[in-house]
Amino acid sequence: MAGWMEQELEQRKKGIPAGQVREVVEHMRQNQIDTVWDVQAAYDGEFLGLKDRCAFGARGLCCRNCEMGPCRLATGDVPQHLQLITPAINRSTCGKTVDDMVANMLLQTTIRGTAAHLGHALHLVELLSEVGAGTSALAVKDEAKLEALATALGVTAKTSAARATGVAQVLRTDFNGPRDGAPMKFVAVLAPKEASRLVKLELVPHKGACELIVEATHSTAHGMTNAAFKLLQWTLKLGVLDMVALAVSTEIQDILLGKPNVGTSHIGFDALDPAKVNIVVHGHYPPLAEMVVEAAHAADAAARNAGATGVNVVGLCCTGNEILMRHGLKTLGNNLQQELAIGTGLVDAMVVDVQCVFPSLSSLVGHFHTKLVTTMGELHMEEAVHVPMGHTAEETHKAAAKIVALGVEAYGKRDKGKAFLPKTPGKSLMAGFSVETLVAVLSKLDANDPLKPLIDAIANGTVTGAVLLAGCTSPKVQPDMSHVAIAKALIKENVLVIATGCAAGACARAGLLQPEAAAQAGDKLKGLLAALGKTAGLPGSLPPVLHFGSCVDNSRVVMLLKALADRLGVGVDKLPAVASAAELVTEKAIAIGCGALALGVTTHVGVAPKVMGSPFVVTTLAKDLEQLTGSKLIVAVDPKEAAGEILAELRRKRTGLGLN
Ligand code: BF8
């Protein structure tokens, strides 16, 4: 895709859309406080003769692996005056070609993304084990889900505690090995029909996950694999592993914290209550956040003593999505709202667990009274107090109470002169969708075969297909608007749109999670959403974008696709379904995208990943892969072009199924 860098700049030039976000950014600018937007703008200035980030790094053509380097390679679209090395010797000092270098860098990125999701899952496996042993502050909330998972994994224990222990043991072996060459058990749970296809492609992990991470990392080290195809195969295999980690996390979170509930809530900075102690829970690992919600109820008297009217716990990023989905708690927003949250001067405690936490928060809290609290061993920050969750009920209750107390104490130091709430109101939203909630509604239409009404709707063209809008929001394009423009274009074409993570936040800020927004959908989809809303006993239609939760909840969508594919007797790769990470930022988003590709789901990205320097990698992922997995990578920065390519792919898959 030529001109991607210019197209990113074009999108970016449109600026921050009017509304709450722009108001807070401008307020912070007036107070000389920089945020991610200002840093991005600085990179857009003339910088080393470039109009953007480093022309080599942006294409994946900078290798810093060894101490002979760094080495940078040029391809045709790197500006002529920067091509320091003649094409004839266009290789790194050790001899890497552009293809080796890009594939190596892509694998390294995927390793980090997968490791992050594995880390999340491993913590939950330990927690489940502690629950089984009866030592944890948490307990099994969804016995049916635990029983179903135990059965799927071959655990035959009779009591809830023994089941929790048994499931934790199987998963520990899946993750840590040794498994003597047996395929990962959870892959069969996640994708039984796909398993043999994935085995043939050598994409099923046959070792402990941790051992795989070591092997994959080893293969990227200096003087190791230079076969770009092998590196790409590793990358997709780690994508499968990443999907396993997501699914394990979602399953255990549902078991211990409960399944999501459909309900209404709110997104925006006005989720903060100037009269209350505001505690923001941010990150991805929700168990301690749940305990903080509980502890906040018990801290009412302390808050009143401090002059507040109570304690208000609100969410941010994916921990925010988790407490939104289960408790209907309000959310401030997503990755690009975290700095701004502190900029309102109304956050008393910013509690972060893991992932997507900007290091800039450490310096930002210096301008305000906000207490920054870290809670997990993997994430420590300057200027933060560390309050770990602990491993016993007593330790966890103490930690939650301490966090709330830190918020109450900070409230006493709040400078009311610095408080700022934007004039634009936030948006109401409907959230809490999952496979279970969808099936519950559909089973009211057909109790014996709940998926049939949805399959019929796809078959008769009421629904063109399903698209998952996932991943981050990015300052590299016009923030939020790639997701929103794609969502609007797709719902008009009667596509069932599901959103997770920050993409769901972008849709929420645009009002697309409101039932009334169904009016923007095509007539056929509009009718279906209204009928489903009525069947569900809701006052109106379902919204045109269904919020399926956090980024680990992308596994819920995989489970939905698996159920549909099983019911139809085809592979997931045959379904008219596409994933889109229109504003991807993190390594995790890359890992999820690789997992989707491996499972046969075509994936769109709207910010060019750092692979564009390798013709081999681009051609393999965007074209040749289709012969192997039935899926391909679509790189399209312009949202209109992206929506067009996504629709074309849905129609191609429909044709493959013999549908119009
Ligand atoms: O995991 S979408 S910025 S917050 S990585 Fe992070 Fe990207 Fe947001 Fe949730 Ni997902």
Q: What would the pLDDT profile of 357-374 be if each residue is shown by its tens digit?
A: 999 999 999 999 999 999
**Residue 589 Cβ contacting ligand 1 at under 6 Å:** yes
Mean pLDDT of 29-34: 96
Domain boundaries, the chain: 4-89, 99-257, 269-418, 430-656
Q: Are 345 and 414 in contact (CB under 8 A)?
A: yes
pTM of the entire structure?
0.96
CA distances 371 to 189, 331, 348, Å, are 42, 19, 6
Query: Which atom of ligand 1 is the closest one to the Cα of 284?
Result: 9
For residue 78, the model assigns a pLDDT of: 65
Out of 250, 325, 584, 588, give the residue to mutate to test ligand 1, the one with the largest number of ligand atoms within 8 Å of its CB: 588
- Ligand 1 center to residue 469 CA distance, Å? 12
Rounded CA-CA distance 145/252 in Å is 9
HSE (CB half, 13 Å, CA atoms) of 365? 22
Q: pLDDT digit string (tens) for 284-329? A: 999 999 999 999 999 999 999 999 999 999 999 999 999 999 999 9
* CATH 3.40.50.2030 for domain 430-656: yes
Q: What is the DSSP letter of 67?
A: T
Q: pLDDT digit string (tens) for 10-28? A: 999 999 999 999 999 999 9
| Residue 49 pLDDT exceeds 60 | no
**Residue 501 Cβ contacting ligand 1 at under 6 Å:** yes
Q: pLDDT digit string (tens) for 488-502? A: 999 999 999 999 999
Q: What is the DSSP letter of 153?
A: T
What does the DSSP assignment read for 163-213? Answer: HHHHHHHHHHHHHH---TTPPPHHHHHH-HHHHHHHHHTT-S--S-HHHHH
For ligand 1, atom 4, name the residue with the nearest CA.
Answer: 317
Q: What share of the chain is helix, strand, coil (3-state, %, to 5)?
A: 55, 10, 35
Rounded CA-CA distance 156/126 in Å is 20
For ligand 1, atom 7, name the residue with the nearest CA.
Answer: 472
In CATH, the number for domain 269-418 is 3.40.50.2030
For residue 396, the model assigns a pLDDT of: 97
**Residue 61 Cβ contacting ligand 1 at under 6 Å:** no
- Ligand 1 center to residue 335 CA distance, Å? 7
| Residue 272 pLDDT exceeds 60 | yes
Query: Which atom of ligand 1 is the closest one to the Cα of 586?
Result: 5
Tell me the two tokens of residue 446: 């057909």
Query: Which atom of ligand 1 is the closest one to the Cα of 355?
Result: 6
| Residue 180: partners with Cβ closer than 8 Å, 6 or more residues away | none
For residue 433, the model assigns a pLDDT of: 96
Q: pLDDT digit string (tens) for 578-595? A: 999 999 999 999 999 999
- Ligand 1 center to residue 660 CA distance, Å? 36
What does the DSSP assignment read for 429-477? Answer: EEE---HHHHHHHHHHH-SS-TTHHHHHHHHTTSS--EEEE-S---TTS
For residue 307, the model assigns a pLDDT of: 97
DSSP E strands in 506-557: the ranges are 545-547
**Multiple choice CATH, 99-257, 1.20.950.20, 1.20.1270.30, 3.30.365.10, 3.30.465.10:** 1.20.1270.30
Q: Which residue has the higher pLDDT, 82 or 245?
A: 245
Phi (first) and psi of residue 45, to 5 degrees: -75, 175
Rg (CA), the chain: 24
Burial 480-490 (b: 16+ CB within 10 A, else e): bbbbbbbbbbb
End-to-end CA distance of the chain: 29
| Mean of the per-residue pLDDT values of the chain | 94
Burial 448-471 (b: 16+ CB within 10 A, else e): eebbebbeebbbeebbbbbbbbbb
- Indicate if 430-656 has the same CATH topology as 269-418: yes
Give the closest residue to 382 by CA, choosing from 397, 365, 402, 394: 365
For residue 313, the model assigns a pLDDT of: 98
Strands 577-581 and 496-499: unpaired
| Residue 206 pLDDT exceeds 90 | no
| Residue 261 pLDDT exceeds 80 | yes
- Ligand 1 center to residue 471 CA distance, Å? 6
Query: Which atom of ligand 1 is the closest one to the Cα of 317?
Result: 4
For residue 186, the model assigns a pLDDT of: 80
Residue listed under structure tokens 């809490």:
432
Q: What is the DSSP letter of 47?
A: B
- Ligand 1 center to residue 285 CA distance, Å? 12
